[in-house]
A and B are shown apart, each in its own frame.
Chain A
């Protein structure tokens, strides 16, 4: 894959141009863009951001237009394992790799990011948005208008947030970022290795990545969630295509945890019922989240015969 970072003619939008080669796949869109003008553009971070964004589509060769340093090329190759990816344009001469001081929480609009924002000290919260037409950057918040999300696989919390990580790496120097906090509660078996490789890759460009919620129990997580009303507002702001936050599994997971911690059995059952309905209607739940709606905490699929508002399938 040949990749390049360019500014569009308005000089306001950063575009990642890419050209698939013989073994590469073609993404759903032929360009990736951010409504954000990059000021500082470090060569190595650019190459790393391209690799992370286009991770599902690269096979065979990665050729960033500005190349990369020798100390980044090895973790870049390792990042794609077990794919054998050649990295082209490797420069032997030493070069500066910037470093920052600030911590950013990368948000994906989930109850997990709501908990992360409550649980961990941070300087900045960053999220991508496909439905806003302009980027909003403030001292504490950055909402980045972008189509990067279209380049993600949806199977797993880490896969889904890779485009946001790629964006954060691109403007890490401009924003003085040193540490990225991911709102990940669990990883799929495939993602466990990927996370380790990602950590090595980001470390090579002076960026630490952490997933402090990883493995945290739901009870502990509940401590950091806002009240249901506060959470509804949080979710409404981040899911602008939804009229009701009640249509999100995130809302009912938070409700369920809140009811459980308060010993409200009826409330817990109701939340579990609504979660089951949403899951049967195609909403994706992780293994542990599915465990929340099993009567015995197992991870079996629930019965299709749901309550009355449950859609039925007939043929």
Chain B
């Protein structure tokens, strides 16, 4: 946690350059010499931020900061982390131009100006000055004056192992890659890692060749890092991150938002019209993201009445609502939102979908090497809470865009610069997104699948949705035709073959179960699962007790033992309140010893976890084929305990009960059908065969 002890008010005109120095229990004499060199720069209005990462002598550091008119921030910390110190300092810096350096590096007077000039000419770059090491005898005791000519003569060039003690860059690069990696503790490797990621994100590394840009490392006795066993471990750990981690964006659990930091890492853009309630639910889901450095841009495409009031109480400075007085269509509104976005990445989001809380975190983590973004799977849901998993395809490419849809547009997170070049075509009344993604794929832009579901997509059933859907199909057909007509028949076939070879992404079941928990609360119900110490044998008494529960609570899920010892292992019942739960417990505890009671939240439409799992595996939500089984619960349970792991009983509105079963293998299903026939008409089960 950062606790600013002193910070000056943000100036109206930002300084040309913010120098950020990370420090912890360092020689204060060296710090003063370094500060003196910065204050002697040809550029006079430099801001210096001293980021103290837990110094024991913080009062002394603070006094020095005051003397040299520096901004001072203090972070409580047990272990030195140069990365974390610099990130904390940059978050509080006021300039868009950032110079990170150490407390033992001195800068020749023209260096800052040369850095700024290089940055002006190469805004998307990390600028480095070759450091020169001062020899013994040129430590803090001997630098009361700077004789720059002498320092040059006695110093030796430091090989380009690292970044030589400084790095200068624009604040938007910091936002894009989200700072120095804070997993790298102590120091070593964090500069190289930062630059590698900056390069993958489109920034060049420039070693300044101007002979007047000079920096020197003040001589001091070597530190102990790398000699102790703990130090060796740190060095190895940092090295491993540097060499093996291919991701671009880091520190996803941290936030560097502040009053002075103005560049969000992500802009979530939402175009909307006339859906205030759904929009509110959608925006609320965005505000629950675990990754916090984002802004939300909502463009209201001429809603009547205006939708803004529905968002008024979502009091979050990250939310911006823009109003188009006249409706111009979805594509126009999306282009409009993209043009207003300031984030380095744009997360496309639909106004009726729900963003899963870890969407940004997972999609940013998936951006590796030189990928320009990522996408993920989605889960369709409807107003009954029924879910269908759509994992998408593993590869986003031109072939797949032409012949199948490898991804859902509303799951895309992509560099803003890509969408500055590729725009939605507002001539298309619908599905301009397919055309856009096809052009992006043709352009060779790489997007990675993040391996998870990232949104819950609302499935509409009303007629206008159907009409819209057919228009969408027609537009995507035009888009595909344009793409395919430019190809020879032979190449067309090659692309078709390639698209078929693009496998479906493999998303783990646990992700689906976790995602289901984020449905709107009205579609969820709380279940009480009672597990027995010993399986209850099916008997007349038990059946009577279950019948009694069914008459009160209408439905019950029963799990059977799977070992040789059959019987009822657990029951799950929808229990709306505390009183009901007490009543159920007292009824069931009379039947046998209770091993445990758990409360679980499930979509209302699924009686138990097994059915939810079945929906995931089936990749579709099929209506449950419930069957009438009359009133003989005991007889039915005797049959089921031998052939099924669980069943679902509910009260039939006419008479008797209805039975739901998990997906079963064909022969088992046939056998059960035959055996259950004597309890009722069994039509559904027959039809299902």
Contacts and interface: CB of A to CB of B under 8 A. Distances in A.
A57 B204 contact: yes
B426 A130 contact: no
B421 A149 contact: yes
Contacts of B422: 130, 150
Interface string A73-93: 000000000111000000000
B204 A58 contact: yes
Interface residues of A, number: 52
B324 A311 contact: yes
Given A147-B442, A313-B322, A59 B124 contact: no
Contacts of B201: 25-26
A161 to B, nearest CB: 14
Given A10-B488, A130-B439, A28 B418 contact: yes
A242 B335 CA distance: 10
Contacts of B619: none
Given A23-B205, A83-B206, A312 B444 contact: no
Interface string A129-163: 01101100000000001010110111100000000
A303 interface: no
A83 B425 contact: no
Interface string B373-417: 000000000000000000000000000000000000000000101
A300 B198 CA distance: 33
A129 B288 CA distance: 40
Contact of A241 (B323, B425, B443, B445): B425
B207 interface: yes
B482 A24 contact: no
A82 B425 CA distance: 39
A20 B340 contact: no
Given A130-B422, A154-B420, A29 B206 contact: no
A24 B199 contact: yes
A59 B121 CA distance: 13
Contacts of A26: 199-202, 369-370
B446 interface: yes
Contacts of A243: 329, 332, 426-427
B206 A59 contact: yes
B123 interface: yes
A282 interface: yes
Contact of A30 (B125, B199, B370, B442): B370
B485 interface: yes
A229 interface: no
Contacts of A39: none
Nearest to A308: B325
A109 interface: no
Contacts of A190: 120-121
A20 to B, nearest CB: 7
Interface residues of B, number: 64
Given A25-B202, A28-B418, A150 B445 contact: yes
Contacts of B118: 82
B202 A27 contact: yes
A232 B486 CA distance: 28
Interface string B117-138: 1101111110000000000000
A305 to B, nearest CB: 14
A207 B120 CA distance: 29
A196 interface: no
Interface stretch (B253-261, B313-321, B525-533): B313-321
B372 interface: yes
B483 interface: yes
Interface string A300-315: 0000000011011111
A32 B421 CA distance: 14
B323 to A, nearest CB: 5
Contacts of B124: 25, 56, 153
A314 B426 CA distance: 26
Contacts of A234: none
A281 B444 contact: no
A119 interface: no
B308 A241 contact: no
Given A20-B199, A23-B205, 20 more contacts: A23-B199, A24-B199, A25-B199, A25-B204, A26-B200, A27-B202, A28-B445, A58-B204, A82-B117, A82-B121, A152-B421, A190-B121, A281-B336, A281-B339, A282-B340, A311-B322, A311-B323, A312-B323, A314-B321, A315-B321
Interface of B: 117-118, 120-125, 198-210, 299, 308, 316-317, 319-326, 329, 332, 336, 339-340, 369-370, 372, 415, 417-418, 420-427, 439, 442-446, 482-483, 485-486, 488, 491
Interface of A: 10, 20, 22-33, 35, 56-60, 82-84, 130-131, 133-134, 145, 147, 149-150, 152-155, 189-190, 240-243, 247, 281-283, 308-309, 311-315
Closest 3 CB pairs of A and B: A282-B339, A133-B486, A26-B370
